[in-house]
A and B are shown apart, each in its own frame.
With several copies, the nearest count.
Chain A
Amino acid sequence: MSDQVDDLVSAHSTALIGVNGGPPAVTGTAPRPTAWDRVKLARHPERPRTLDYIERLTTGFIEMHGDRSAGDDQALIGGMAQFGDRTVMVLGHQKGRATNENIARNFGMPRPEGYRKAERLMTHAAKFGLPVVSFIDTPGADPGISSEERGQGVAIAESLLTMADLPVPLVAVVIGEGGSGGALAIGVADRLLMLENAIYAVASPEGCAAILWKDAAKAPEAAETMRITAPELLRFEIIDAVIPEPTPAHLAAEATIKAVGAAIAHHLDALESAYLRGDPRGGDRLRADRYAKFRRIGSWRDGPF
């Protein structure tokens, strides 16, 4: 698969960024990769993972383990770190690379204790005024028996609730796979950014194809019609900006990580200036505007059918 993916690169658009609803500027004449191409790029095993970003972009990372009630999820990690001149709370899904690591990380699929840890760390961030930076990269929440027993649904819902109401700035970046509710649970952000070749979907293309086409092999078609790529989601105003990958991230880790770092810094600065500087109650404005941002997402007609 890796070779096949690499072949795509030459046919790859080289600069694509849009912020806050502005139209993406596309340069270069090479044909766009298809949605399915991007699914493969987003899942590429050599793509930088959350810990790669933490290692390169921050110092003094103290991983904070555990949900204080059941376990420590290695698929959803977090802790305090220094990012520029700020202390931030970092959260992220963590996939493995080798088989052993993938098993330990449960292929990046968090269990309820992962979401409860995330909730704990977000509450900690709120207490000390730390901005939250989250890296989204998961096929989805773990679909196992014990996860159901320990309330996967409730855990995700409560993480959403905590995040929606947090008085600190939240910046989330989809760095690879944004898989459904398992991704959203750490993605209720003031600014939601996506790497150009990341995907974000309500269900996996394979799962969608299996249900609606009764054939998982129709995943490429499903991927196309589901509109899961960054440029499409920017156009829908579901995300706030696309971070370009002039070269796909797995071939240009250093540059990609740097670009992501710059984007996070930019948005944290902007949020802080707009809400928190000189306003001790700015957290309330921030929450109100975060609500307004999510409040208006949707597509409907108001007249009779």
Chain B
Amino acid sequence: MVRSFFHRHGKFQPVAPDDGRAEQKIPDDLWVKCPRCQELLYSKQLEQNARVCPKCAYHFRLRARERIFLLADDGTFHEWDKDIAPRDPLGFADGSGTYAEKLVTTRRKSGETEALVTGRATIGGHRVALAVCDFDFLGASMGSVFGEKLVRAIERAGDRNIPLLTISASGGARMHEGMFSLMQMAKSVAALARLGNAGVPHISLLTDPCYGGVTASYATVADVILAEPGALIGFAGPRVIEQITKQKLPEGFQTAEFLLQHGMIDLIAERTSLRTTLTTLLAHYGRAADHQAMLNPAPRHRPSEVALTLTEQGVVAAHVPALSLAGRSVSHAEPSPHHE
């Protein structure tokens, strides 16, 4: 059930998450200390157990491609929109430099062009569209490219009638892109509204940490919401809440278990049985769709009204009909000034 992927393929380097949790880093040496139970763990053994502590079940963080590798059937993952990359629409600069510079550094450090990896795969033989956060890319903050890649994945899921699986870990909206980032919340949820109207399921997996604009948009607009054990999930961050309210946070505040108890998520999904859980869920939806099709062979599915033609390689040939809003006639084929 658990795929000892790091060991078996050696393809993905164990990468230290850039999240300030020094305890979580998996160093090059052979032993790593579990931040929860303090047990010294043999790195390879930890990797074989999907980076779940064999003693206390602490779930170490994973990179986007590690997650995909863990879940997708061998060789079935085809990435979408790999080449779409961020710009700096605001000319943003803070005390430590410009956003444009930060993008270069982050890309080099993380090996990714953006914080979201999307594509299609099968899981347990079931087709699925995937959108997976990479926390090492600017804390998987949600900016224009994150939103655009996500929405393209949602639209492809809708057009092809295949379930959507999102895996989130994010600090929230990307401040460097200002209101462009905030609007990705509306954009992604609007795309999910259409996916829902087409009767295509969205399964959302929340992992540590999941905050802000992601928790308050696509990641909680789902037919089934799963969370990894112990993951911290919330809208406002714990430090902000403590500073503003001057109150001590309750025990277990914002953990997945806390959210389950408060009715916000469907299920806590252990990583070591996650493929089984997802396969069962996908089988339920697939069986239901097949049964509907058997009862009424006519197509149930309505294609999206804004047609996008996308190839596997992420080359976009989008056709958005001219908008009827007065004075506007914009399409993706003719990018507006702030799209390069």
Whether A and B touch (Cβ < 8 Å) is answered with yes
Binding site for B on A (CB under 8 A): 19-22, 60, 62-72, 80-82, 85-87, 113, 117, 124, 127-130, 141, 143-145, 147-154, 156-158, 160-161, 164-165, 180-181, 184-185, 187-188, 200-203, 207-208, 211-215, 218, 221-222, 225-228, 233, 236-238, 240, 270, 272, 274, 276-280, 285, 288-305
21 contacts between A and B (CB under 8 A): A60-B284, A65-B267, A72-B260, A130-B288, A143-B241, A148-B241, A153-B233, A160-B186, A161-B192, A185-B216, A202-B179, A207-B240, A222-B94, A225-B91, A225-B92, A289-B325, A293-B323, A294-B187, A301-B86, A302-B316, A303-B85
Known: A67-B263, A278-B296. A297 touches B324 (CB 8 A): no
With beta carbons under 8 angstroms apart, the residue of B93, B190, B199, B263 that contacts A69 is B263
- Tell me the complex Cα distance, A158–B186, Å: 11
| Chain B residue nearest to A60 in the complex (CB) | B280
Least CB distance from A57 to B in Å reads 15
Interface residues of A, dominant DSSP: mixed
Least CB distance from A275 to B in Å reads 8
A153-B220, A213-B95 given; 11 more Cβ-contact pairs under 8 Å:
A66-B265, A82-B283, A153-B216, A180-B213, A201-B179, A225-B90, A274-B324, A291-B193, A293-B323, A295-B191, A297-B187
- Tell me the complex Cα distance, A65–B257, Å: 12
Binds A, one of B3-11, B23-31, B244-252: B244-252
Q: B36 at interface (Cβ–Cβ under 8 A)?
A: no
Determine whether the beta carbon of B216 is less than 8 Å from that of A238.
no
- Tell me the complex Cα distance, A241–B220, Å: 31
Determine whether the beta carbon of A160 is less than 8 Å from that of B185.
yes
Determine whether the beta carbon of A295 is less than 8 Å from that of B306.
yes
Determine whether the beta carbon of A150 is less than 8 Å from that of B262.
yes
- Tell me the complex Cα distance, A187–B217, Å: 13
Least CB distance from B182 to A in Å reads 4
Contacts of B327 in A (CB 8 A): 19-22
Least CB distance from B215 to A in Å reads 3
Determine whether the beta carbon of B234 is less than 8 Å from that of A238.
no
Q: B123 at interface (Cβ–Cβ under 8 A)?
A: no
Contacts of A156 in B (CB 8 A): 216-217, 235
Determine whether the beta carbon of A127 is less than 8 Å from that of B223.
yes
Least CB distance from A113 to B in Å reads 6
- Tell me the complex Cα distance, A70–B193, Å: 23
Determine whether the beta carbon of B187 is less than 8 Å from that of A298.
yes
- Tell me the complex Cα distance, A26–B256, Å: 52
Least CB distance from B162 to A in Å reads 14
Determine whether the beta carbon of B148 is less than 8 Å from that of A298.
yes
Least CB distance from B334 to A in Å reads 11
- 10 interchain residue pairs of minimum CB distance: A66-B263, A153-B215, A298-B144, A143-B236, A299-B89, A164-B190, A212-B94, A152-B235, A156-B216, A153-B235
| Chain B residue nearest to A203 in the complex (CB) | B175
Q: B212 at interface (Cβ–Cβ under 8 A)?
A: yes
Report the count of interface residues on B (CB-CB < 8 A). 109
Contacts of B221 in A (CB 8 A): 157-158, 160-161
Determine whether the beta carbon of A289 is less than 8 Å from that of B324.
yes
With beta carbons under 8 angstroms apart, the residue of A21, A143, A228 that contacts B240 is A143
Determine whether the beta carbon of B263 is less than 8 Å from that of A301.
no
Contacts of B186 in A (CB 8 A): 160, 164, 184, 187-188, 294, 297
- Tell me the complex Cα distance, A133–B50, Å: 37
Least CB distance from A60 to B in Å reads 5
With beta carbons under 8 angstroms apart, the residue of A117, A141, A298 that contacts B263 is A117
Known: A87-B291, A280-B300. A143 touches B263 (CB 8 A): no
Least CB distance from A77 to B in Å reads 12
Contacts of A70 in B (CB 8 A): 262-263
Per-residue A-contact encoding for B108-142, CB less than 8 Å = 1, 0 else = 00000100000000000000000000000000000
- Tell me the complex Cα distance, A182–B292, Å: 32
With beta carbons under 8 angstroms apart, the residue of B183, B220, B266 that contacts A238 is B183
